[in-house]
Amino acid sequence: MRALVLGHGYSAGFLTPLLRAEGWQVQGTTRGTPERVAAAGAEPLLWSDAEAIRRAIAHADAILVSAGPEDGRDPTLATYGAALTAARPAWLGYLSTTGVYGDHQGGWVDEETALTPSTRRGRERVAAEAEWQALASAHGLPLHIFRLAGIYGPGRGPFAKVRAGTARRIVKPGQVFSRIHAEDIARALLASIHAPRAGAIYNLCDDDPAPPEDVIAHAAELLGLPLPPAENYATAEMTPMARSFYAESKRVSNRRMKQELGVVLRYPDYRRGLAAMLAQAD
């Protein structure tokens, strides 16, 4: 079986070893870091090598699209849309974001919640999802959309900043985020590949939406270091990009992921995820 990852980044680095362990051949595209792709166990394909990527699309049994929108357009559709229309994979996955739901003032959302994004990134993802759904409908492609919460894992945790004394505990009353460990993303994707359901949409997140300052505080506690001082969101100095992450507050349901895919989370909350990362010397 052959798998192709279009945009072989951080999350794909956890899926590829799982596929390889089952005997899959995996190829992954990159814009210039083939060593990182190869280290995960995939054959690197340079994004600029259009002919090689078209051949890979034509022969793939499973295709994962991990590359996000750029300048308001989906780079995969813009470059390889025609090749995908002729492809016949058994499974096609698109990684989106829970940002498509917008702000719900801490309320719960699920896959049936209306898409009302309040950020540019969220609006671009809604448009990209619609483009992928239109392509799949027109050409009979087995599309699965995965809306990812905040991703963390080895190399993407709070420990380095806490150790360096640069971690910030920004407090905005009522603010909660959902998140998911990268290993659980990979396990959910693999479960879907094993049990395709064309047209399905899944939220990928853990069981414990929590305020971001709680995560920083727990990381400091695990390290035995002082708690970073609390900063009021309203008066804290932040870049526009950093401030935009606090524009939306919601709790994301993962019930469909569990019921349909049978996923049992390895890290159902950030406490267990951080403890594992620390044990792995993150």
133-138 LR contacts (CB < 8 Å, sep 24+): 135/77, 135/81, 135/84, 135/85, 136/92, 136/198, 136/199, 138/85
- Indicate the residue type of 26: V
Residue ranges covered by each domain of the chain:
2-155+179-206+252-267
pTM: 0.96
User: Alpha-carbon distance 192 to 190, whole Å?
Assistant: 5
User: In this predicted structure, what is the pLDDT of residue 41?
Assistant: 97
In the DSSP assignment, the letter for residue 255 is H
Share of the chain above pLDDT 90, in %: 93
- The answer on pLDDT for 282 being more than 90 is no
- The answer on pLDDT for 281 being more than 80 is no
Mean pLDDT of 131-141: 97
Mean pLDDT of 241-260: 94
Question: What residues are paired with 58 via a beta bridge?
Answer: none
| Options 3.40.50.720, 1.10.10.10, 1.10.3370.10, 3.90.1150.10; CATH of 2-155+179-206+252-267 | 3.40.50.720
| 4-17 residue pLDDT tens | 999 999 999 999 99
| 202-249 residue pLDDT tens | 999 999 999 999 999 999 999 999 999 999 999 999 998 888 889 999
Lowest mean pLDDT, pick from 150-159, 189-198, 241-250? 241-250
Give residue 127's pLDDT band: very low, low, confident or very high (50, 70, 90). Answer: very high
**Which has the closest alpha carbon to 254: 154, 172, 179, 195?**
179
User: Alpha-carbon distance 220 to 160, whole Å?
Assistant: 10
Rounded to an integer, what is the distance from CA 24 to the centroid of its chain? 22
**Sign of the CA dihedral running 59, 261, 11, 25:** negative
**Which has the closest alpha carbon to 176: 216, 213, 227?**
213
| H and E: helices and strands count for the chain | 11, 13
